[in-house]
Amino acid sequence: MPALANYVGSGYSAAGGYLPPTPPPTGQSPAVVPESTQKRPPGRFGWRALVAFVAGGLLAAAGFASARIGDTTDAAAAPGEITVPVRSGQPAPPPLVVEPPDFDTDEPAAFVAKLLGPSVVQIEIPNLGLGSGVVVGDGIIVTNQHVIEGATEVDIRTADGRVLAGEVLGSDDRTDIAVISVGTGTGLSVAEVAVGEAPEVGQLTIAIGSPFQLQQTVTSGIVSAVNRPIFNGVGLNAMIQTDAAINPGNSGGALADRNGRVIGINTAIQTDGIGNSNLGVGFAIPIDTAMNIVNRILAGQSMEPGFLGVSGIESSDGSAGVQVSEITAGSGADLAGLLIDDLIISIDGAPVTSIEELAGLVQTNFPEEQVQLGVVRDGEAITLTATLGQR
């Protein structure tokens, strides 16, 4: 992988417009790094963007938009209502009543916004920054690791205007997933997750989050690709690619299907190496991967990824797949009966066209878990079951 290099994104100027990003030194490409910061002139919110770029200057973590966050806690609203903060001495406006969604009459995006919006929260680290999160259990919120990195306590701003104290329970930098608890009995709406249902290329997607501190922002698009291997500087992950607009601050937010079920956790965007805003190519961690990590964190289990034990190359005859060139003795691949020159064409039903795709798919699993390998051997298609080990 290329060497790591620091690079920063855009922020707000005192005039309220976006500041252009500083280009990298001549001849140097941005690469994946921990979030970098650049101070900006003091604007209304004192923003600065925190981003991490992937190798070649093509990909940037959606990051979290940084802002100075006030200490005022909004009063709790009744279910179905949203409170609007008011200045001292002014009468409080009446609560905004949110109509329940109606699948038969609402536009798809409007239906999802009404159904899923209450389950998407804004994560605030006082005097540092913010991102997004999704409620996936009673008081349990999933977000990106790079959103809460370095923090043990955060503020959770709910869709109805409340601010709750959140405790970081754990995180995994390889998959960029973190878990926060706000305690039980908060009344937060729990999102429905589409675990076990593979997204399809071309299906409608709805993203909800807080880009640039704009809470409850809804954007729509489609699934552009699945199982896209993306290296985040720590691990290689099989991602969902979407053209729904994702920007800094969307990190940790929801990517949903037309039924309002969460199919992924938004985490990264592709850039031109100069700016860090949306160009129509974003990436989300599949919900199966995210929930696997959530459950392991809650259970106190290891985050060490699974190990198959193969090296591969492009097939000698041009066939799609990964031709096995080396097998680690005693590994899951070896014990499953995989042979040199076997062509691996799928893993758990997902097509494999490169060694990067194979690695990304393997590393979403853990030691002792089993995977089904679709293999072509001497022109015959066979299926092998491999139990993953530990590197």
Q: Report how far residue 181's alpha carbon sits from residue 166's, in angstroms, rounded to the nearest whole number.
A: 5
Quote the tokens at residue 357: 């795709």
**DSSP class of 186:** S
176 is catalytic: yes
Q: Where are the alpha helices (DSSP H) in the chain?
A: 108-116, 145-148, 287-299, 332-336, 355-362
Active-site position among 220, 251, 277, 346: 251
Residue 251's alpha-carbon distances to 121, 254, 268, in angstroms, are: 11, 9, 7
Residue 389's alpha-carbon distances to 143, 294, 309, 330, 386, in angstroms, are: 28, 21, 8, 9, 9
Active-site position among 176, 257, 288, 342: 176
| Cβ–Cβ under 8 Å, residues 112 and 258 | yes
| Cβ–Cβ under 8 Å, residues 331 and 309 | yes
Q: Report how far residue 109's alpha carbon sits from residue 207's, in angstroms, rounded to the nearest whole number.
A: 9
160 is catalytic: no
Which residue do the tokens 């993953």 mark?
A: 388
**Residue 161 CB contacts under 8 Å (≥ 6 apart), including other chains:** 74, 75, 76, 77, 82, 83, 84, 85
Q: Report how far residue 172's alpha carbon sits from residue 302's, in angstroms, rounded to the nearest whole number.
A: 10
Q: Compute the radius of gyration of the chain from its Cα atoms.
A: 22
Closest C-alpha to 239, from 10, 49, 62, 6: 62
Region of residue 14 (left: phi > 0; alpha: psi -120 to 50; beta: else) = alpha
Residues of 141-151 as b/e, b for ≥16 C-beta within 10 angstroms? bbbbbbbbbeb
Active-site position among 146, 155, 171, 277: 146
Quote the tokens at residue 51: 């981003």
| Cβ–Cβ under 8 Å, residues 29 and 5 | yes
**DSSP class of 211:** G
Report the first-to-last Cα separation within the chain, whole angstroms. Answer: 19
**Residue 104 CB contacts under 8 Å (≥ 6 apart), including other chains:** none
Residues acting as catalytic residues: 146, 176, 251
